[in-house]
Structure 1
Amino acid sequence: MVRLKLRSAGVAVAVAGLVVASAPDAAAAATSKIHADRMTVIASGLDNPRGLAVTPGGVVLVAEAGRGGQGPCLTGAGNQQFCLGVTGAITAVRGGQQKRVVTGLPSLGTPTQSEVLGPHDIALTKAGPLVSIGLGTDPQRRAQLGVAGALVGQTVRVGSAGASSFADLAAWEGMNNPDGDQPGAGPDSNPYGLVPYRDGAVVTDAGGNTLLRLDRRGRISPLAVFPTTPTPNPAGGPAIPMQFVPTTVTTGPGGAFYVGQLTG
């Protein structure tokens, strides 16, 4: 069951980007200590928090990927088992208070929760509040989840009646696989970053290496396909094909899209 107490009328919001850095060196660590007193914890106890959106009223909305669940399960990245649960959520934070305003969203997690996929981002758009739900494997494997996993690999719309399909990115990737002519790029879908755009949204598919536009009816059209880049093999031998892995996305000057790249 999805509980929602959030106005879903078309609202323009600013998306706050998340920056993920590698372990700091000694100099960076020292700088971090100097500035630590400038940081304030505004929310805690979140289940694998991912993307953020900030409403005009100053409410911070946090997508929580959840903890997976008891299944059914599918075979995902690295041939690991990912089991389905309904532990994904959206938390609202304001004035030092936090509350889960959306619960019961799909979540996939390994038994140890070493990796969790679920609600990855949220955007308040003219089409309503949209949430991207991760998958992280060949779209054909979604069938292993049965009816319970129908919303995995999709961008869903949330409202007072619950969560419903808005755009099935996994199905689109399975049919099109636009980067399929590149090394190691079989069908793979993992919806991730979201940003409002015109009458709908723009979303990254971290598995498909694509940037996709969703119109107000959820129709999908590609904006960019990111190339695989040969990188040096640390063990010697042939170069390793490195996929782009687009994650976060936001808009910038001149209407450009700025895309965060995980690499891999």
Structure 2
Amino acid sequence: MSFATPRRTRGLRRLAVALSGTALVAGATLTGASAVGTQSPSDPADPLARIADRYTVVRSGLDNPRSLQILPTGNVLVAEAGHGSRTDAGCTERGCAGRTGKVTLLTGVESSKEATVLDRLLSLSGPDGSFATGADGASKRPGGAYVAIIARGPGRQGGKLVAPGPEGGVRVIANISRYEENHDPDGEGVDSNPYAVLARRGGYLVADAGGDSILHVKLDGSIRTWAVMPEYGPRVDAVPTSISRGADGYIYVGELHSEQRGKANVLRYDRHGNLVDKIGGFTGVTGVDMSSNGNLYVSELFGGPCGFDQIPSCFPGRVVKVAPNGDRKFLRVPFPAGVGVRGERVLVSAFSVAPAEGFGGNPDWSGAVWRLRRF
């Protein structure tokens, strides 16, 4: 797997590699490991056993869970990218396409109840339903509608910001990919892959991972460029994959960047889109949030010591906690994506590239939301 091209590696292609191409390696490895079956937490062969006291499973059986937002009510909003097609008719040897994506709201004590607030969203996946893309981001502001951002793809939803429509349908708020086609904010050729969204007063901020830009969408659907991501040279892009508003009021944007370890950044912007600061030293950021006491939590999709050749004995991925003084602590989380924090409550989408049935049919390796403890 390589992120370098003779010219410039564009974000959409990089995400396609990260979220689809690696499925050829991981999927084959995990399918071969399906004979392991459901393992006891005390089983030394279980790759999760060594961290069993560091997390609690809040919800499992999720379908490629991506962004995660803890709402002011304490409810948890999760974007599920789905598993491609509902039937074999939507599949080819290359993968599956359908409307299996959705946005899920977790409510109740310890998020024990589940409701679907947006359904039948575009989903593109590998043949086994893993490494899907589609409804990769979701958000809501107080008093506002639930919204989802859909990856560029076929049909009327592809590349658009959507919300619930009449009679359980979906309405389009704005066409993000068309804005990239018409304006190309970074000036380096048209490439769009809308990937994350943050609802706020007066509109939405959308991270276009392919276009290397953050766009502001007003409630009426009009779009303007809010920020263009930093330039890292002719062969590397920033690739914004996550966006959140920290407890300090700043906007935080996470970069997927390159496959090089320690090269990705978390960027801090003011409310007008001016870059204030950046925190470096990360690997493939897919989630970011800041707590009220100033701790920064960052998901690294492929971070940590484990590689694909070590699956299933060890899964890639970790969450990094950065203290206000710069000290860092790590907790292994398999393929983490969205992360949210409220007080002492730290939640993360784990196995974010796994279908509801789990990698290799193992339900212990299904898409899930974890509560992290003991950093």
Q: Tell me what 1:123 maps to.
A: 139
Quote the RMSD (CA, aligned, Å): 2.7
- In 2, the alpha carbon distance for the partners of 1:190 and 1:227 equals 17
Q: Tell me what 1:40 maps to.
A: 56
Q: Which runs of 5+ in 2 are unaligned?
A: 1-47, 259-375
Q: Tell me what 2:172 maps to.
A: 165
- In 1, the alpha carbon distance for the partners of 2:105 and 2:240 equals 26
String of CA shifts for 1:72-123, please: whole Å, max 9, x gaps. 789xxxxx95542010012222332334343211111233445311111211
How far does residue 127 in structure 1 lie from its aligned partner after superposition?
4.9
In the TM superposition, 1:72-221 aligns within 5 A as: 81=94, 83-94=96-107, 95=109, 96-125=112-141, 127-135=144-152, 142=153, 145=154, 149-161=155-167, 162-181=169-188, 186-221=189-224
Q: Tell me what 1:250 maps to.
A: 244
Determine helix, strand or coil for the equivalent of 1:188. coil
Determine helix, strand or coil for the equivalent of 1:196. strand
Determine helix, strand or coil for the equivalent of 1:43. strand
One of 211, 226, 230 as aligned partner of 2:229: 226
- In 2, the alpha carbon distance for the partners of 1:228 and 1:109 equals 30
Q: Judging changes above 3 Å, is the alpha-carbon distance between structure 1 residues 71 and 176 closer, same or farther for their aligned structure 2 residues? A: farther
Indicate the larger mover: 36-45 or 249-258: 249-258
Answer 1 or 2: higher relative contact order, Cα 8 Å, separation at least 6: 2
Q: Tell me what 2:66 maps to.
A: 50
Q: Tell me what 2:295 maps to.
A: none
Output the TM-score relative to the length of structure 1: 0.68
Q: For the Cα contact (< 8 Å) 2:181–2:191, is it kept in 1?
A: yes
Q: Judging changes above 3 Å, is the alpha-carbon distance between structure 1 residues 159 and 83 closer, same or farther for their aligned structure 2 residues? A: same
The list of structure 1 runs, each at least 4 consecutive aligned residues, that deviate by more than 6 angstroms after superposition, is: 32-35, 71-74
User: What letter is aligned with 2:244?
Assistant: T
User: What letter is aligned with 1:134?
Assistant: A
Q: For the Cα contact (< 8 Å) 1:131–1:158, is it kept in 2?
A: no
Q: Which runs of 5+ in 1 are unaligned?
A: 1-31, 75-79, 136-141, 231-239
Output the TM-score relative to the length of structure 2: 0.49
- In 2, the alpha carbon distance for the partners of 1:254 and 1:92 equals 25
Q: Judging changes above 3 Å, is the alpha-carbon distance between structure 1 residues 209 and 71 closer, same or farther for their aligned structure 2 residues? A: farther
What is the percentage of aligned positions where both structures have the same residue?
37
